[in-house]
Amino acid sequence: MATSDPVDILLIHDRWGTQGLLEACAGLSREQFHQEFAIGSGSLHATIVHILGAMRGWTDMLNGDMGPGREPRPRLEAEGEKTVEELKALLPVVADELEAAVRAGPLEDDIHGDRGGRKFVFTRGAILTHVTTHAVHHRAQCLNMLRQLGVENPPDVSVMTWTMTADG
């Protein structure tokens, strides 16, 4: 049964949508997965790594790992090439970490961070909303790339489709 809680919807849909995108990429060749496009981060690989990297980076901020004297984990994008299977295995890890960090306190909590000498303050709710809508934006770019690669019937990863699937 689908939930009506916006936090649940954002978190569950985000994981589901990215999983669907990765499933659509599973049949691509390495060359297709890395083909450059003038959209997003440039390729399906780079854009999906960016989606997961953003989830991990914002999770670090939620967990207080971006304060003075503390460093977040290295950017996922700096870790080098990953296969679709490696990204599929990484998704539940970063999604679970994000969910735990979001649920660790009230959405109204101010989250403080410091990156490169610049200080940030966001609410937990604003971070959740940013991370999940950021992923929607980039998944749309990936769907465009899949269409340009000739993939027939790229996945419909919309919230409404997720809701109908969850209810169905």
Q: What are the chain's domains?
A: 31-154 (1.20.120.450)
Give the predicted TM-score (pTM) of the model. Answer: 0.93
Long-range contacts of 125-130 (CB under 8 A, 24+ apart): 127/58, 127/61, 127/62, 127/102, 128/7, 128/10, 128/11, 128/102, 129/10, 130/58
If you write DSSP's letter for every residue of 29-57 in order, what string do you get? Answer: -HHHHH---SSTTSSHHHHHHHHHHHHHH
Task: Report whether pLDDT(40) > 90.
Answer: no
Range from 1-10, 43-52, 121-130 carrying the lowest mean pLDDT? 1-10
Assess contact for 112 and 119: CB atoms under 8 A.
Answer: yes
Helix H or strand E segment including 112:
strand 110-115
CB 15 within 8 A of CB 95: yes
Q: Is residue 135 very low, low, confident or very high in pLDDT (cuts 50, 70, 90)? A: very high
- In this prediction, residue 2 carries a pLDDT of 64
> What is the token pair recorded at 135?
């992923």
Mean pLDDT value across residues 156-164: 91
**Beta-carbon contacts of residue 118 (< 8 Å; ≥ 6 apart):** none
Tokens of 62: 């939620």
Note the pLDDT of residue 1.
47
Separation of alpha carbons 56 and 156, rounded Å: 24
Contact at 8 Å (CB) between 85 and 112?
A: no
